[in-house]
A and B are shown apart, each in its own frame.
Chain A
Amino acid sequence: MKPAPFTYHRARSVDEALALLAGAGDARILAGGQSLVPMLNLRLAMPEHLIDISRIAELDHVEERGGRIAIGAATRQRTIEFSPLVAARLPLLAAAILHVGHRQTRNRGTLGGSLCHLDPSAELALMACVHDAQLVARSPRGERVLTMAAFALGTMTTALEPDEMLTEVRFSPWPAGHGFGFHEFARRHGDWAMASAAALVTLDGAGRIERAALALGGVADTPLRHATAEAMLIGQAPGDALLRRAAVLPQDVVVLDDDATPAWYRRQLAETMARRALADAVGRAAKAARQ
């Protein structure tokens, strides 16, 4: 199908984009187009105006600033995939991004585009969640910084105001020697994940878990931090039985349910992915400690 008619605008700066957004009425931001254009083609979205931000230099960067890795919202996924800084300081992100779509979509798709589209299975949203990312948004009223919990309101629903746009995402790197794990389950490589898990672990000198972060994607309507697992793991020796217990999903989590992946099956997948991600994270941290 073909999109409904719209007027395309190309913004040359963030200020211009915000002015267009405020002035245009029914407008959507366009970056890589890998999430939005399918919606336009299927007429699931029919904005009157599109504001292309993909050539705004200010929004395209990967840099270390104030102890965080700051990535511009319109940075191509490809740039992140091949970034030496990301490989060195955010190895979990470097691993997970290989599962985002395919080479051809990563060449155009952006970090911000994926986060603002907020599909429940999106790996990049999961990465923002597990890394305690700061999401920077700008509007004519100024700038504000949101946590992922405040940003992700529900299925494909963000807290951005109609005249507001995401400009940058700041990831908190874990210290050298940390371990990471990422597992997702999909019918074919590159398909939307039915359940995914991302884990970050540091071990203390005695090999016990000092710090842990565990987040699940594709399970609830937004990425989910598994806080009970994290609390259970701190200070403990990381044995199989502990990881298995930690991976259990609390009963009160509202698990996505559809004909292809019923909730009971998705829950099982999530727990298996969580256990594997934790095991990998522990293994990598232990290996780093031996070196």
Chain B
Amino acid sequence: MDHTPPLATIELVVNGQARRCEAEHRLSLADLLRDRLGLKGTHVGCEHGVCGACTVMIDGVSARSCLTLAPQADGADIVTVEGLADGDALHPLQEAFRDRHGLQCGFCTPGILISLLELLRHCPDPTEAEVREVLSGHLCRCTGYHNIVAAALDAAQEMRRRRA
């Protein structure tokens, strides 16, 4: 019996760059990003969609990369945490997390940054409640969330200032 698993050719755009690889059908987008493309910023926590550590942008919206199969991402436009900085210039969200001590171990951070990026695109002046609503899809064991909230509000303010 032939046990060779079928392979799919996956073509996708990741952080603005066209990428291509062959993958088993069962490979998750998270594992494709980490192991096949070397983008280790996206983390794998629970593999059932509740912890949020794997969150990336897929076609402009936040999504769990652990619940997306590689073949489903064929033709997709992906943004990971590696896509936030502009060369050496950190994204205002990243600067705010640094300045406000919004991370400790950093495991949950990339997923949270992606979700906050999505929030601030649609809601440039969020309330604390709106930030906390977004954070409800992410588990953080280290920080107690309050510095994450502060960082998010600071980043929102800075991004509004830069646009003015």
Residues on A facing B (Cβ under 8 Å): 1-8, 10, 30, 33-34, 37-38, 40-42, 50, 52, 54, 78, 101-105, 107-108, 188-190
Contact = CB atoms under 8 A, between A and B. Distances in A.
Contacts, number: 91
Contacts of B52: 102, 104
Contact of A34 (B24, B31, B67): B67
B77 interface: no
Contact of A38 (B49, B69, B133, B134): B49
A13 B25 CA distance: 21
B66 A41 contact: yes
A189 B50 CA distance: 12
Given A7-B25, A41-B48, A33 B136 contact: no
Q: Which 4 A-B pairs have CB atoms at the shortest separation, nearest pair first?
A: A102-B137, A38-B48, A8-B25, A107-B61
B94 interface: no
A185 B60 CA distance: 32
B62 A107 contact: yes
A104 B25 contact: no
Interface in B45-68: 47-49, 52, 55, 58, 61-64, 66-68
Contacts of A189: 133, 136
Nearest to A41: B47
A188 B137 CA distance: 10
Contacts of A10: 71
Interface in B102-135: 115, 118, 133-134
A107 B71 contact: no
28 contacts: A1-B47, A2-B28, A2-B31, A6-B25, A8-B25, A33-B72, A37-B28, A37-B49, A38-B47, A38-B67, A41-B48, A50-B69, A78-B61, A102-B52, A102-B137, A103-B133, A103-B134, A103-B137, A104-B49, A104-B62, A104-B63, A104-B64, A104-B137, A105-B49, A105-B67, A108-B63, A108-B64, A190-B136
B146 interface: no
Contacts of A107: 58, 61-63
Contacts of A30: 69, 72
A190 B72 CA distance: 25
Given A107-B62, A108-B68, A189-B136, A34 B25 contact: no
B56 to A, nearest CB: 9
A2 B35 CA distance: 14
B8 interface: yes
